[in-house]
Structure 1
Amino acid sequence: MKTYHYKIVLILMLTSLMGCEERLEEEVFSELSPSTLFTSEQGLNSLLNAAYSYSHRSGDDESWSPYYLGTMPAGEVWGAGGSIESAWQSLIDYTWDSNHGQLIPVWIVYFSSIRDANLVLDNLDNDSFSDDYKQRTEAEVHFLRGWAYSELYKLFGRLPLYQSSTDDPLLPRSSDEETRAFIEQELLEAIATLPTEPMAFGRASQGVAMSVLAKFYLNTKQWQKAADMSLHVMNLGLYSLLPNYSDVFDISNEGNAEVIWALPKNAAGAGQFMNALIFPPDYPRPFPNNSVFAARTYLFDDFVNSFEATDTRSSRIITEWESTATGQLVMGLGNDQSHPYKLPFDPNAVGPSAGNDIVVIRYADILLTRAEALNELNGPTQEVIDLINEVRNRAGATPLILGSFNKDSLRDAILREREWEFYFEGNAREDQIRHGVMISRAQARGKNAQEFHVLYPIPQRELDANSNLEQNAGY
């Protein structure tokens, strides 16, 4: 079971009174004054916790925006209703621009995490700190920067690389090669000294950093490195598939052996709003404290019907339900209106705010990462088939047979497997981009998708604030 250690809010209340002729001394109303913030372990821990809080996407929009940025352009889900509908429609239709409301909060939270991490690192050289504290904290800073930049890179491409709190805030974007090298360097440095077990739930560990790096290697098509790093994760012996697919997402089973990296949530503090954006107001919610918005999220019939009858992964899809308003049966399947139900309703939700953790990387992802990388390197082998079948066997799907595939057809099968395994977990866009099919599939759906759409635009407000930033091509 998880515990929540990162709901710490650092409040520095500095009150100064300015008279006409003289300035009075500031009176500090805080346990952490500026004189101790950077010179005590307690102060730096507060900053480190703040960096984690941003990196965990602790705000309302930030908690769910990456799900939709990562699914709607891929045609995995669609949505309607509420004030968010126009923003969603632009993701579906490829009409988004640099003022899209879901790009701004994601940019802000990750760069805020980088800022606070840099402050910690710049003040870590203090003789009063133990060597163990310095080493552990520095490793966590490297992880936080590597994680934040890897997420930003997937969305926006090359980035301004802030490595110190004293860097010029108006840095230009580094080259693609420099950005990728920095992400790799940060995560490798973290892996070298992070503990095998995290200090607490939601903090970095060696396995977490390895898994983030394995996915980064995969998405940048560094096949050998992806294969090697995923094997390192497997060899840790810390993670495994759960026997039952649904148990992975059970709120009473959070922090289970399959979940490698998750963003902790708390309904009463930093909650998330996923189910409130999925189900309609007359859906029979199991707990009276659950509430939803007017917006609804749907899966397409073609996808829902693509599962084998024995595949238990489809059990996390709601295809029909009885309206609490009319008592009539509502058929989602047949109308492209089935609902993804990866995250069960939280019995302790506070209205729309729920405490289900956001699962980022599961052990199943590591198995399929190695399978894909090995296939790209060597084509179909028994090891590749066995890795895929480990995931399929857990789901009750028919095992694959080595002789049925060549390299190209197995590549397609792996992408399809990822679609079945990770639907509505935010992976679809990056998977389709890696396989080179996102734009062509969108065009086949009648969307005006162009090659430049594989990257989102830099938010306009950031361009206005930093004249050295260069917009992505096409925007």
Structure 2
Amino acid sequence: MNKNIKYKCIAGLMAAALLAGCNDELDVEQRDGQTVNDYLSNPANATNLVNGVYSKLLDFNMYSFSWIGITSITSDDADKGSSAGDTGTDKHKMDALTFSSSDLSFNEIWTGRYEGIYRANNAIFYLDQLQIDAALKNRLVAEAKFLRALWYFDLVRCFGGVPVVTGNIDLNDTETINEIVFTKKTKAEVYAQIETDLMEAIPALPLKSQYSAADMGRATKGAAQALLAKAYLYQEKWQQSFDMANEVINSGQYGLLPNYAHVWREVGENGAESIFEVQATANLGLVDYTNVQGPRGTPDLGWGFNTPSESLVNSYLPGDVRKDATILFSGSVLWDGFVTPATWTNPRYNYKAYQSQISETWIGKGVTGKNLRILKYSDILLIRAEAAFRLGNLSEAKNRLDELRLRTGLGPVTAPVTLQTIINERRWEMAMEHERWFDLVRTGTAPAAMAANGKTFIVGTHEVFPIPAPQVTASGGRLIQNNGY
């Protein structure tokens, strides 16, 4: 699935949020006389069926404004940005940690993921009915399971226990909806489903190098292993995380780009460091990810939200090249030669979200042809390092951190490795990449980090976000609200 093909949606797959009461059928356009049976009898449609699942990744309610708000603006890495009077609907509340269940961002995140899960469930259901090559069918089902696991991973990190829906559900079946769609599973049960999907996907997925150029960007064995290593880490299954990260490292499929600044530029797309990316093109772009974070003022490059914080700026060690590759400073010259004015509304913006109008695929501010990184090899090295540390293997932890430090301009870690050493390296390596909030929460360091940034983290509440109020209402109160909301 290369940059020329990407996510071609099938005309007949009408995805809907599981909790929004929309149709769940394969709705084939009738103007050409084609029926569902006609569609399912054509094996050529199998790949397009799964492409329709991938295409959900590009939508506004997946990785755009709301995701940016709850994963980045909440953290000490970023401030709301934009102008003082522009709240971004609720992004000022994300910044101050004063959000509530009625805020739009949470409902968008919830709805977007369940729309994606709905598509994955439908694809798996209909693929089972297609008479096609078994290996191809198994691979396509595995791709859908990987995507389903990815979206459940987003949900469980955000909300804790959530409903787990894996089948093709008749939305007229009230009893099943009440028992499955409107009933939360525990956090452990959600992770168990993630593990099941990924363990079933791994043997059926090719290595990255085994895909043709036309299929570049599809889920790979390494992507499923990387996500599983991360899911294990979040559950504190240190040995499993350590071992699974090693599978990715030893696969020979991945490596670090020599230049850290290239990782998030178009030149680095689907490169050695890439494990899984949202694929975007000039014909089918990523909605508003760049625009939301583009510098605000004259010239106007975007809405100006999610600006790197002073806390992040001051956290870097002197000489760390990751600082200037992450933070776009007003009044500077950018990598493409663009001279930024010192009069922009904010002094700093997210450089990783910057898309060059001069040297990259440019199709306008609202839709970007630049890929979004979801899983990277550098993250796997950090996961391996942390799991090693937790297991008492300090030499392995140091070796993996030093591997990352080679390109930073800092040199090897000199002091004994501690958990804070690893947390710091994760911050600098993954800054503005939607990881910091979750890292602080899972390591128990959020209260202190937020306090240092002038924010109050409420222990016992802020470990998860609120279940969106519209979903609780739609469930007739069956969805139990998270504590403190």
- Is 1:208 aligned to residue 208 of structure 2? no
Which residue number in structure 1 is paired with residue 320 of structure 2?
311
User: Matched residues in 2 for 1:447 and 1:115: separation?
Assistant: 36
Q: CA deviation at 1:345?
A: 1.8
Q: CA distance change for structure 1 residues 444 and 12 in 2, over 3 Å: closer, same or farther?
A: closer
Within 5 Å, give how 1:19-418 maps onto structure 2: 28-30=30-32, 33-54=35-56, 56-59=57-60, 62-81=63-82, 83-126=86-129, 128-166=131-169, 168-170=176-178, 171=180, 172-197=183-208, 198=211, 200-282=215-297, 292-316=301-325, 317-321=327-331, 330=342, 337-347=347-357, 348-381=362-395, 383-401=396-414, 404-405=415-416, 410-418=418-426
What is the CA deviation profile of residues 162-207 of structure 1, one whole-angstrom value per residue up to 9, with x for unaligned ones? 1210372332111222211111111111012111135623321100
User: Matched residues in 2 for 1:405 and 1:85: separation?
Assistant: 43
Paired residue secondary structure (1:135)? helix
Unaligned runs of 5+ in 1: 14-25, 285-290
Q: CA deviation at 1:367?
A: 0.6
TM-score for the superposition, normalised by structure 2: 0.84
Contact 1:39 1:123 survives alignment (8 Å): no
**Larger radius of gyration between Structure 1 and Structure 2:** 1
Q: CA deviation at 1:460?
A: 1.5
Which stretch has the larger CA shift, 80-89 or 372-381? 80-89
Between the two proteins, the alignment pairs up a number of residues equal to 445
What is the CA deviation profile of residues 29-79 of structure 1, one whole-angstrom value per residue up to 9, with x for unaligned ones? 14753223444334443332221112x242366434323321222211002
Unaligned runs of 5+ in 2: 15-27, 171-175, 334-338
User: Matched residues in 2 for 1:9 and 1:309: separation?
Assistant: 51
User: Matched residues in 1 for 2:33 and 2:320: separation?
Assistant: 55
User: Matched residues in 1 for 2:272 and 2:7: separation?
Assistant: 22
Q: CA deviation at 1:226?
A: 0.8
Which residue number in structure 1 is paired with residue 21 of structure 2?
none
Q: CA deviation at 1:95?
A: 1.2
What is the CA deviation profile of residues 216-258 of structure 1, one whole-angstrom value per residue up to 9, with x for unaligned ones? 1112211111110100000110100011111112213311110
Contact 1:299 1:337 survives alignment (8 Å): no
Paired residue secondary structure (1:41)? coil
Paired residue secondary structure (1:378)? coil
Which residue number in structure 2 is paired with residue 23 of structure 1?
none
Q: Which amino acid aligns with 1:374?
A: A
User: Matched residues in 2 for 1:298 and 1:38: separation?
Assistant: 48
Q: Which amino acid aligns with 1:52?
A: Y
Q: Which amino acid aligns with 2:348?
A: S
User: Matched residues in 1 for 2:186 and 2:228: separation?
Assistant: 19
Q: Percent identity?
A: 27
Which residue number in structure 1 is paired with residue 3 of structure 2?
2
Q: Which amino acid aligns with 2:377?
A: Y
Match among 437, 455, 458 for residue 467 of structure 2: 458
Contact 2:286 2:369 survives alignment (8 Å): yes
Contact 2:82 2:303 survives alignment (8 Å): yes
Contact 1:393 1:399 survives alignment (8 Å): yes
What is the CA deviation profile of residues 406-425 of structure 1, one whole-angstrom value per residue up to 9, with x for unaligned ones? 6xxx1101100111111101
TM-score for the superposition, normalised by structure 1: 0.86
Contact 1:61 1:102 survives alignment (8 Å): no
